[in-house]
Structure 1
Amino acid sequence: MSDMKMRQALKEQQHAGLAMLARCVAHCPEEMWLEGEHPRTFWRIAFHAAFFTHLYLGQNEAAFQPWPGRREGISQGLWDSPGDVEPYELPEGADIYKKTEILEYIEFIDALVDPIVDHLDLDSDDSGFAWYKNISKMSHELLNLRHLQGHVGQLSELLMQKRIDIDWISQ
């Protein structure tokens, strides 16, 4: 497969995965946003999927440019005790993301996909992330897609339990 075709396939699958994540978030009933056993509430899974898709999209950790809509400390405290980030009706600025914010974040990431993938060194033997040793950048990009889709599957299954079905997006 040519380099251009490989990059195009990566972009198509990133866009499709992000579109499916956005559908899960958009179709999540408000009362379900906080449902689940800590730390596996719906909103946390959605944020985790978006954050790590964003982080791992780039060549390496140093290339990461945070989302302008982020709240300081929320990703570090993502798995803290429920009382630290819930209930949903916390005062403005509290450490929880609303559906609209996660959808904005997904849109932000989606806009980065093409320019970032166009400039990745897919031939690098280094993933660019110290905690992923002995994995090439190309393999790491595929891992990123699997990670995103794994969490989309989790969210989709939670929605299906509520009789809400999310359509598959192939590209």
Structure 2
Amino acid sequence: MLDILKEGLRNQLGAAIDMLENAIRRCPGEHWETNQFWYHAFHCLFFLDYYLAEDPPSFTPPLPFDESEFEDRMPDRIYTQEELLDYLDKSRRHCYAQISGLTNEGLTARWINSSGSMNYSRHEILLYNLRHTQHHAAQLNLLLRQTINDAPEWVFRAGEHF
């Protein structure tokens, strides 16, 4: 049973990450700042990483990213497409390692944020993360359709990265 759960998580969370990557890559440089495309991508990546944290209260994003998402403010600068794709790659590898290493006990371990308002099993936070990532990948695809009348295709399962 554990193996089928891990396979499904890997395939579907991986597909959501692939869709996010495809949207980021599809955005032309001249539209990176249009409708704050870059910010929506950053927000999604920040929380993708955060929801994978082993100890949520001590989470800090890697440099050059800041904790603006926890402070309900915009980052101090616009992050580049390359920076966000690097962040995505790191988060994808972290996600793969976490799912691959899951045990029955690990699935039921608690993921609790600082305030205690989010208290999930590891299994549920992975599903929550999938939903959040897919939600924002869809927003980015909508922005691409509205801006350049083009968007990446649907990804059914994780690709070669996962």
Q: Which runs of 5+ in 2 are unaligned?
A: 158-162
Contact 1:74 1:96 in 2 (8 A): no
Q: Distance in 2 between matches of 1:79 and 1:118?
A: 34
Q: Are the structure 2 counterparts of residues 26 and 143 from structure 1 closer, same or farther at C-alpha, using a change threshold of 3 Å? A: same
For residues 62 and 79 of structure 1, the distance between their equivalents in structure 2, rounded to whole angstroms, comes to 19
Rg larger for: 1
Q: Determine the structure 2 residue equivalent to 1:159.
A: 144
Aligned residues: 151
* Alpha-carbon contact 2:10-2:96 (below 8 Å) kept: yes
**Secondary structure at the residue paired with 2:112?**
coil
Compare relative contact order (CA 8 Å, sep 6+) and give the higher one, 1 or 2: 2
Identity %: 27
Match of 2:129 in 1: 144
Q: Give, in whole Å, the separation in 1 of the partners of 2:72 and 2:41.
A: 11
Question: What stretches of structure 1 of length at least 5 have no aligned partner?
Answer: 86-94
Contact 1:127–1:137 at 8 Å: present in 2 too?
yes
Match of 1:22 in 2: 21
Q: Is contact 2:60-2:67 (8 Å) kept?
A: no
Residue 77 of structure 1 deviates from its aligned partner by: 6.3
**SS class of match (1:167):** coil
Higher mean C-alpha displacement, 57-66 vs 107-116: 57-66
Q: What is the TM-score of this pair, normalised by structure 2?
A: 0.81
TM-score (normalised: structure 1): 0.77
Larger helix fraction of residues = 2
- 1:117 equivalent in alignment to 2:99: yes
1:31 corresponds to which residue? 30
